[in-house]
Structure 1
Amino acid sequence: MIAALELDDRFTRAGHAIAYLAVTLPVTLLALPAVAFLVLGAALSVAGIGLPVLLAAAAFCRALERLDRRAANRWLGAQVPPIPQPVLGTGGAFRRSLYLLSDRSLWRTVTHLTLRPLLVVAMLVVALAPVFVFALLLQLGVGGLAGAADVDYVGPWPLNAWVGLVLLAFAVPAAALSIAALEALYRVLAVSSHALLVPRMAPGGPVREMLAESLGDRTVSVAYWLPDRERFVDELGRQVELPPPGSGRAWTAVDRDGRRLAAIIHDAALDTSPELVMAAAAASSLAIDNERLKADLQARVEELRLSRLRIIEAGDAARRRIERDLHDGAQQQLVSLALDLRMLKARLKDPQIDELTARLAAALAELRELARGIHPAILTDRGLAPAIQSLADRGAVAIDTDVEVEERLPAPIEAAAYFLVAEALTNVARYAEATSARVEVRRSGEALVVEVSDDGVGGVDPSAGSGIRGLQDRVAAVGGTLEIDSPVGHGTRLRATLPVPE
């Protein structure tokens, strides 16, 4: 059964090779005249009069190549994508001729049409020789058996029934050799058609750009399949949802060696010609596999960043909860106790009550400072600018602030910016021996830039203290970067860039 199916496949491929050569016979016969016509148009364009000839010749060459492409896809399964349209540009006839002559796809077409007749003749000579031998043996063998052959002798032997039987016996291996030759012709035609018609892609170029050029769809994108996570991601490791039917977008799976690699997301109009998308996918499957490995690594990095961000957010949420508990619980109890002491002092006139009131006021101040350090309520209620201004108002040195942020930002970004400024100003007060400091916060594109500088002694070593390392971890958790410039004797400048998600 398997042998019969394999033989049937060989007959099919042999028939397809013959059908392809028959259908593309006009391409083979007209290829060299079309190239000569194009060369004539290019030569006349130098004199400024050949643009119409050049345009007509280029259109004729592309029409021949389109015919060859359709036949190759139909009979050889070559999966050749559409031929890109020429770029004519603007300006005079000479300038438009230069635009056309500089089109790489046109010269690929010319190369294909020039080589095609030579390749077809060479392949026919090699492949059809066994077919000719088989046909001759069959004719002579049947003629010998019927006694009606056009020849009387085959070499030194007279052509009779016995010689005819021998010739028919030799015709059987000749038939097998003919089928093998035509099957080989099919494979050679498929490989050569794909090599000559499909544009070469830069091996180091981005996969998306290669696919966009091949498919003529600038909106194409690639979603890479991660089997261990069972989801698609983009090149940055972010999860991708495949477009649903009716959305105007479609996707085509890319497999290699039985493994799912990716999905090409493209315009739904290309879904009517899936062989074109599969051709582009097959041509770039190795590059897609390499990009998938990079996307897998990026996904792991993104998961690590998100997990660290979740830890930071959970810590901030706990700090806010503790701050609210202190404000609504212990702090309110102390305030109420202070009021009771004042009322008691008015009735008893006892000097010990003044001492208790002072101690209670100090405890309340410490509690408020503790609650503010855990998580400032002003940051949650009023935003970044008032919170930073409150830090500057309590500073031990003169602090100039310039906060150019009016809108509310995501809570992790505001918290990272606030605690960066708070830690930096604390270091200024404790170690910098500075007389002034400056805080600048501004939006720069899709990022928030926070700078804290002072005129102190400088010489900060980021690896020496846990405070700076903690700031680096907090900034990195939200995808930001922290730069520290602290030359000895020239102050310190901290600059953080925090990406602001849409």
Structure 2
Amino acid sequence: MATDYGMQTREHRMPAALRAPFEGRTWREFTYLMLSLPISVVLFSFAITLFSLGAGLVITFLGIPVLAAGLAMCRGFGAMERARAKALLRVEVAAPAPVRGRTRGLMPWVGAVLKSGASWRHLVYSLIHFPWAVFAFCVSLTLWAYAWAMFTYPLWQWVFPLYTGTGGIQLYGDTHHSVYLDNPFEITLTSLSGLLLVLATPWVIRGLASVDRLMVAGLLGPSRLDSRVTELESDRGVVVDTAAADLRRIERDLHDGAQARLVALAMDLGLAKEKLTADPEAAARMVDEAHGEVKIALQELRDLARGIHPAVLTDRGLDAALSAVASRCTVPVQVEVDLPARPAAAIEGIAYFTVSELLQNISKHARATRAGVDVWRVDDRIMLQVTDDGRGGADTSAGSGLAGLAERLDAVDGLLVVDSPPGGPTTIIAELPWRD
């Protein structure tokens, strides 16, 4: 185990330029570039043939189904290319939206394929990937072969016999006037040049593979509109789940808090009514206790209403509302709000509840002695920063309150950034869109 650890440490400390020729990434990308040429030949031939055939037969109406079939086959090849990129380039590209209309007959399906932007992007990929694959194949294979041939030249130069009795590869000339790489200096210089090429070739291969990554992601994946629709559908699900959770919380708070207290209050008043004539003093004590219960129930209802949407937020805005929240925190909180105007009510409410939840976390978990809240506007975004000098260690891992808060902000194109090293201090920045 000690030997393995030492080897791993030395390999880790080896400069990246020296590790690159032997890394798995280099060999995977080189394999990808080598496979791209034969695969692109098939894709190009297939795409250009079916496209030409379909375009030529359009006048007979047979060309439209042929063209649609060709586009559908290109989508199938695209799925294969995405799988190859995932295995060798370690890039995962989501599949584009499926073609609609598959179950409604042939012609609706043909129309859906022809109107699908993803289908045409797959065709474009099949056409333009071929010249690029030829270029990348020639450059990478040539560099790879020449680099290792020159680097290992001292090991195999003897296979070229000369009339002088030595061995070396012939650079130029004829039988009588030739120049050979046969003396120690030239052999050493060739090997050193080969070493430089061996070290440089992996980076050239990585550059070529990066272009392939861009082509696969840009042409074989979903469009920006499709991605945006998927994101909005996910955000809508988060909003619905959050609203349902809030309704369950409100129902639970009402049932376990104010409702239970009011039921007990009604029972106490009923008993007091029965004792009013028989034992007026006991009835008076029970009414007095009921009066206290009413006050507590009213306070609980006020707290619940504040949790739904505080009146001070509606009437006076974020500055006053956040100051009220800070006053209830267990540590001193300095609040600074610098906004030129009030944002939309929905954004203002999310900002309020974000800061409120973060301050609750400070009260419960941070063990801090002071905290701060800063709110300001940058261009079309509203920025919230909550800091404390507590023990730190906050994170947005799954299951934590911060994870749920991050999901709520993401549902409205917001962002939550947490910087909380162990031992503190903690800085949490929330970003929301500004909407008037």
Output the TM-score relative to the length of structure 1: 0.44
Larger radius of gyration: 1
Structure number with greater CO (CA < 8 Å, separation at least 6) is 2
Tell me which protein shows more helix as a share of its residues: 2
